[in-house]
């Protein structure tokens, strides 16, 4: 094997890091299922023509082709770059077999053929939830998906996340109320605020969106409103613009922010500069900052779309939000924010005194496993010191010495005690690897804490 | 969206089918972790030159290329066609950060660009376990991986599986004992037994492998030996061939078959015609038949390899076995062998009397979720009959009517009882969807069985 270098943009984790990622995936799945979202997976490829319909993303698509494809086979497949395009196709394809409103979650890899740059992945895992209706979809689902993601964030050993919410109706109604002829052009200009600053956006608004200086100033004033509660409503009203669509947007955004602020204080802000580039959003839009790590960009984004998919007869409106699992896990690992308590699932290593006695050690292991205790048997009848080091290097907490009157050694404390392989159970906190905020693991393992809630440092 | 047809070879499941697949994946993971295998994922792509080193498979590789790749970018990546090639690369790349023997499982999609044909998938999920040593690896791991897979089969709601085992040393020793100059050529001929029959193989053995008629007949006699216990040893001895490598192979195969037959009677047979095409196997080889569905081919295969990977200085021997999850799930679903008790994770639907009272229904739902009960709130304040049908169509067992003196209705029995949202818990068997052998689901739901062991019909 000559080429064993990493590939830029294709992250891979070491075993202990993978345990952190698995914990994130498990918790996210648990929360999604707790709210009745059903799991789906779609194939990794879609017809290229479907992928390329989204103009902005076409430069990022990976084309897939059989190496010995016949001349009659066109290169017509690409790897999906998100989970929304395949989900829209899935809904149309299987609509006759689905019950609407259809609530699904989807946790899969996606691929983007971007030129490598720091913090950009070419392969990464997303975790999406969407609620999709047939013909209609009630507004309250726009509140719901934000609450579900806020609950997921609370369940994860991560820094606080701040969900930034805006509403397309609010923005469009405001622009229309100002007399803007092309509200989409206004939105595109405002979307550049973080990149080019207010002066340049003001120029764009006047020159490209055709606004007066006063109207452009109003748009910039709107974009600067940011409140952790529903007080944004009064601030918008104070700008003196009126339009029925603005009223509707203000009411919806107040409902989302009010409900989130009540249930998860500090988890959400109304941020009226949030635009989200994608054309298809029509109501609430979401972005999420990881507090203290804002520079990595949004870790969780989405919004309401009145037409996720349509077959000409039926239209499927939806609302969805997508967690960037790889981006999040990458931040947690690269900043040392979380740690796994061990690099293997194993809770107990059963020692082997000599190879002739291996069957006895296997019997102890089988007994422990029958009660759900992850157990390995030592690979070799080395001296016990070496077998203990085998466990220690992997973070396995217990070594079992079959035939010994006190067979069970906790190698962290050194304590060795009597135990029956037919009945012994580890403390719940030791059964599986724990994944905790880095500073907490040290403390809790020092004091031999067996409180399982330390799996989740923020509960 | 104009093209919404399925793509041949890229299976996708409906929500209730996905619950079956998830159950298989969860159980497999549980068993692997119970035995101390650590999870890994590798990137989906490998350098094409690495993938093409395996001559037999080169026609099946999917090449991946950025749609707007510059002329300076060669098309040098392909999608992995198994999990062994990427794992070997991972071991070399990260050897300095791994502890050996290294026990890992890997559950991921793989892609093969085969021409579509019945039962062949172009995208499918594999679940692999491997144990890899540095320089050496003890034989007992060849027993272990078979036992772990046998345990996984027992945990799954599937027909019995029969693991067919052979040993490369046994075959090679036998051929050498017969005086074969090119044992590999003999093996290649014997590997064709199922396809072309004993006469044609006999001809190949004489003409291509250069065996005498008597030696060819001995090889065919060896290939016909198949025993559910260690009695194959005497049958091989009776053929009168002797060689030290044959002795070693007989002892190893007897150890694998003996241990499996003792722990899981009927789970394993010694089948001396099993060859496995791949060159790199050097000891035990495994295939697995799904009893009653042998025509689908092996659902779980693998073997021992003395050099999984080598960097010139260090060699990494290993043993691994790979479960074809998609093939298995596809058989289970297409033959109606298993069913999920519902198509959603939801255990309780909380009804909504009117939209003004939605917050009260949300509060009940939050209370149930806080104790881990998957709960949805009705999407619309329809008449209660319609809300009950919403639950019924998805298989949700309970509907909760907030404010009612007897708020909890089991819609299967129609019984409606008093219950407190702060304390009520469903029977364990109702909390999550059950996945059982098809004939059993009917029985157990008819009699309202609340025994959680019915999740696994074969325990």
For the whole model, what pTM was predicted?
0.94
Whether A160 and A273 map to the same domain: the answer is yes
Which residue, B274, B307, B339, sits at the end of a domain? Answer: B339
Average per-residue pLDDT for chain A: 91
Backbone region of residue A210 per phi and psi (left: phi > 0; alpha: psi in -120 to 50; beta: other values) = left
Residues 6+ apart with CB under 8 A from A71: none
Contact B43 A123 (CB under 8 A): yes
- What are the structure tokens assigned to A65, written together? 């082709």
pLDDT score, position B447 = 38
Do the domain assignments include residue B60?
yes
Whether B329 and B395 map to the same domain: the answer is no
Probe site for chain B from A37, A57, A65, A67 (most B CB atoms < 10 A): A67
Strands (E), A133-273: 161-167, 226-227, 268-271
Contact A113 B68 (CB under 8 A): yes
Say if residue A37's pLDDT is above 50: yes
| Minimal Cβ distance to A94: which of B14, B133, B345 | B14
Long-range pairs for A354-361: beta carbons < 8 A, 24 or more residues apart: A354/A381, A355/A381, A357/A381, A357/A402, A357/A403, A358/B140, A360/A402, A360/A403, A361/A402
Task: Tell me the CATH number at B373.
Answer: 3.40.50.800
| Minimal Cβ distance to B14: which of A52, A61, A97 | A97
Contact A99 B394 (CB under 8 A): yes
Distance from CA of A179 to the nearest CA of B (A): 34
Do the domain assignments include residue B382?
yes
Do the domain assignments include residue A34?
yes
Residues 6+ apart with CB under 8 A from B315: B135, B306, B307, B309
Contact A379 B98 (CB under 8 A): no
Residues of A in contact with B38 (CB under 8 A): 15, 18-19, 343-345
Residues of B in contact with A143 (CB under 8 A): none
Say if residue B457's pLDDT is above 50: no
Q: For the residues A134-155, what does the mean pLDDT come to?
A: 97
Distance from CA of B187 to the nearest CA of A (A): 26
Rounded CA separation A33/B347 (Å): 10
Rounded CA separation A351/B278 (Å): 35
Q: For the residues B26-39, what does the mean pLDDT come to?
A: 98
Whether B184 and B118 map to the same domain: the answer is yes
**Alpha-carbon dihedral angle through residues A133, A135, A139, A143, given to the nearest 10 degrees:** 20
Residues of B in contact with A309 (CB under 8 A): 1
Contact A67 B50 (CB under 8 A): no
pLDDT score, position A448 = 38
Over residues B178-187, the pLDDT tens digits come to 999 999 999 9
Say if residue B56's pLDDT is above 70: no
Do the domain assignments include residue B10?
no
Here the ipTM equals 0.93
Helix (H, G, I), strand (E, B) or coil at A128: strand
Whether B321 and B361 map to the same domain: the answer is no
**How many CB pairs (< 8 A) connect A and B?**
222
Distance from CA of A206 to the nearest CA of B (A): 35
Backbone φ and ψ of A370, nearest 5°: -60, -20
* Portion of chain A with pLDDT greater than 70, in percent: 91
Which residue, B295, B322, B339, sits at the end of a domain? Answer: B339
Domain that holds residue A218: 15-45+84-337
Say if residue A351's pLDDT is above 50: yes
Over residues A245-301, the pLDDT tens digits come to 999 999 999 999 999 999 999 999 999 999 887 678 999 999 999 999 999 999 999
Probe site for chain B from A32, A38, A53 (most B CB atoms < 10 A): A38
pLDDT score, position A13 = 98
Q: For the residues A141-168, what does the mean pLDDT come to?
A: 97
Whether B48 and B146 map to the same domain: the answer is yes
Contact B77 A344 (CB under 8 A): no
Strands (E), A112-167: 123-132, 161-167
pLDDT score, position A308 = 87
| Minimal Cβ distance to A67: which of B41, B63, B141 | B63
Task: Tell me the CATH number at B138.
Answer: 3.30.930.10
3-state secondary structure chain B: CCCCCCCCCCCCCCHHHHHHHHHHHHHHHHHHHHCCCEECCCCCEEEHHHHCCCHHHHHHCEEEEECCCCCCCCCCEEECCCCHHHHHHHHHHHHHHCCCCEEEEEEEEEECCCCCCCCCCCEEEEEEEEEECCCCCCCHHHHHHHHHHHHHHHHCCCCCEEEEEEEHHHHHHHHHHCCCCCHHHHHHHHCCHHHHHHHHHHHHHHHCCCCCHHHHHHHHHHHCCEECCCCHHHHHHCCCCCCHHHHHHHHHHHHHHHHHHHHCCCCEEEECCCCCCCCCEEEEEEEEEECCCHHHCCCEEEEEEEEEEECCCCEEEEEEEEEEHHHHHHHHHHCCCEEECCCCCCCEEECCCCHHHHHHHHHHHHHHHHCCCCEEECCCCCCHHHHHHHHHHHCCCEEECCCCCCCEEECCCCCEECCCCCCCCCCHHHHCCCEEEHHHHHHHHHCCCCCHHHHCCCC
pLDDT score, position B239 = 97
| Minimal Cβ distance to A36: which of B63, B113, B344 | B344
Probe site for chain A from B318, B345, B366 (most A CB atoms < 10 A): B345
Q: For the residues A22-40, what does the mean pLDDT come to?
A: 98
Probe site for chain B from A7, A9, A12 (most B CB atoms < 10 A): A12
pLDDT score, position B5 = 78
| Bigger pLDDT: B401 vs B455 | B401
Q: Which string of b and e fits B208-221 if b means at least 16 CB within 10 Å? A: ebebeeebbbbbbb
Residues of A in contact with B79 (CB under 8 A): 64
Say if residue B199's pLDDT is above 60: yes
| Minimal Cβ distance to B67: which of A113, A345, A375 | A113
pLDDT score, position A50 = 86
| Minimal Cβ distance to A43: which of B12, B89, B390 | B12
Do the domain assignments include residue A452?
no
Whether B156 and B201 map to the same domain: the answer is yes
Distance from CA of B91 to the nearest CA of A (A): 9
Whether A157 and A273 map to the same domain: the answer is yes
Whether B238 and B367 map to the same domain: the answer is no
Residues of A in contact with B48 (CB under 8 A): 67
Q: For the residues A357-383, what does the mean pLDDT come to?
A: 97
Probe site for chain B from A26, A100, A132, A345 (most B CB atoms < 10 A): A345
**Residue B401: CB atoms within 10 Å:** 20
Rounded CA separation A124/A11 (Å): 8
Which residue, B339, B362, B383, sits at the end of a domain? Answer: B339
Long-range pairs for A409-418: beta carbons < 8 A, 24 or more residues apart: A412/A445, A412/A448, A413/A448
Backbone region of residue B271 per phi and psi (left: phi > 0; alpha: psi in -120 to 50; beta: other values) = beta
Contact A123 B36 (CB under 8 A): no
Q: For the residues A166-171, what does the mean pLDDT come to?
A: 96
pLDDT score, position B458 = 32
Do the domain assignments include residue B231?
yes
Distance from CA of A28 to the nearest CA of B (A): 14
Rounded CA separation A157/A26 (Å): 12
Whether B347 and B210 map to the same domain: the answer is no
For residue B26, give the chain A residue with the closest CA. A26
Do the domain assignments include residue A71?
no
Q: Judge whether A339 and A346 are in contact, CB under 8 Å.
A: no
Q: What is the largest CA-CA distance in chain A?
A: 90
| Minimal Cβ distance to B6: which of A52, A93, A123 | A93
Q: For residue B452, what pLDDT band results from cuts at 50, 70 and 90?
A: very low
Over residues B240-267, the pLDDT tens digits come to 999 999 999 999 999 999 999 999 999 9
Probe site for chain A from B22, B33, B36 (most A CB atoms < 10 A): B36
Average per-residue pLDDT for chain B: 91
For residue B344, give the chain A residue with the closest CA. A38
pLDDT score, position A19 = 98
Residues 6+ apart with CB under 8 A from A446: none
Contact B15 A40 (CB under 8 A): yes
| Minimal Cβ distance to A379: which of B3, B60, B138 | B138
For residue A22, give the chain B residue with the closest CA. B39
Whether A150 and A218 map to the same domain: the answer is yes
DSSP assignment string, A45-65: EEEHHHHTTSGGGGGGPEEEE
Contact B22 A37 (CB under 8 A): no
Q: For residue B438, what pLDDT band results from cuts at 50, 70 and 90?
A: confident
* Portion of chain B with pLDDT greater than 70, in percent: 91
Say if residue B363's pLDDT is above 60: yes
Whether A240 and A349 map to the same domain: the answer is no
Lowest mean pLDDT among A185-194, B140-149, B444-453: B444-453
pLDDT score, position B88 = 95
| Minimal Cβ distance to A40: which of B18, B65, B68 | B18
Whether B244 and B391 map to the same domain: the answer is no
* Tally of domains in chain A: 2
CA-to-CA dists, residue B10 to A7, A23, A57, B86, B126, angstroms:
27, 29, 24, 22, 14
Distance from CA of A454 to the nearest CA of B (A): 17
Q: For residue B454, what pLDDT band results from cuts at 50, 70 and 90?
A: very low
Say if residue B440's pLDDT is above 70: no
Q: For the residues A325-333, what does the mean pLDDT come to?
A: 96
pLDDT score, position A58 = 56
| Minimal Cβ distance to A358: which of B99, B140, B376 | B140
Q: For residue B269, what pLDDT band results from cuts at 50, 70 and 90?
A: very high
pLDDT score, position A280 = 83
Q: Judge whether A164 and A274 are in contact, CB under 8 Å.
A: yes
pLDDT score, position B434 = 96
H/E run at residue A40: none
For residue B366, give the chain A residue with the closest CA. A35
Do the domain assignments include residue B444?
no
């Amino acid at each position: 094997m000559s080429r064993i270098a990493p590939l830029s943009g294709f992250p891979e984790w070491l075993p202990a890091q993978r345990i952190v990622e698995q914990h994130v995936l498990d918790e996210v799945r648990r929360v999604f299922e707790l709210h009745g979202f059903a799991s789906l997976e779609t194939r990794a490829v879609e017809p290229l023509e479907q992928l390329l319909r989204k103009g902005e993303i076409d430069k990022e698509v990976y084309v897939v082709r059989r190496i010995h494809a016949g001349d009659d086979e066109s290169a017509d497949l690409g790897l999906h770059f998100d989970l929304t395009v395949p989900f829209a196709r899935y809904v149309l394809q299987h609509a006759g077999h689905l019950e609407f409103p259809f609530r699904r979650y989807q946790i899969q890899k996606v691929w983007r053929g971007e030129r490598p740059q720091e913090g950009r992945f070419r392969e990464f895992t997303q975790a999406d939830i969407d609620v999709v209706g047939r013909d209609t979809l009630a507004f309250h689902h726009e509140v719901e998906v934000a609450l579900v993601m806020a609950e997921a964030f609370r369940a994860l050993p991560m820094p606080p996340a701040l969900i930034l919410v805006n509403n397309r109706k609010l923005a469009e109604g405001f622009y229309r109320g100002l007399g803007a002829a092309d509200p989409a052009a206004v939105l595109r200009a405002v979307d550049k605020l973080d990149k080019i600053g207010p002066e340049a956006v003001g120029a764009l608004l006047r020159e490209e969106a055709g606004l007066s200086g006063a109207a452009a100033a109003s748009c910039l004033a709107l974009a600067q409103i940011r409140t952790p509660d529903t007080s944004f409503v009064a601030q918008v009203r104070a700008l003196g613009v009126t339009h029925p669509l603005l009223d509707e947007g203000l009411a919806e955004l107040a409902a989302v922010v009010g409900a989130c602020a009540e249930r998860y204080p500090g988890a959400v802000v109304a941020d009226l500069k949030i635009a989200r580039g994608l054309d298809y959003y029509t109501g609430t839009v979401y972005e999420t900052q990881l507090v203290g790590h804002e520079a990595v960009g949004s870790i969780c984004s989405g919004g309401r779309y009145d037409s996720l998919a349509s077959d000409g007869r039926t239209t499927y409106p939806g609302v969805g939000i997508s967690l960037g699992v790889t981006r999040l896990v990458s931040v947690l690992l690269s900043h040392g924010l979380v740690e796994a308590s061990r690099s293997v699932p194993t809770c107990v290593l059963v020692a082997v005194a000599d190879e002739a006695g291996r069957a006895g050690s296997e019997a102890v292991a089988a007994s422990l496993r029958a009660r759900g205790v992850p157990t390995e048997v030592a690979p070799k009848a080395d001296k016990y010191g070496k077998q203990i080091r085998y466990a220690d290097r992997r973070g396995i907490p217990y070594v079992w010495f079959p035939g010994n009157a006190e067979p069970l050694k906790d190698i962290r404390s050194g304590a060795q005690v009597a135990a029956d392989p037919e009945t012994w159970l580890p403390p719940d906190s030791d059964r599986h690897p724990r994944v905790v905020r880095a500073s907490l693991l040290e403390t809790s393992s020092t004091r031999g804490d067996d409180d399982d809630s330390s799996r989740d440092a923020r509960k």
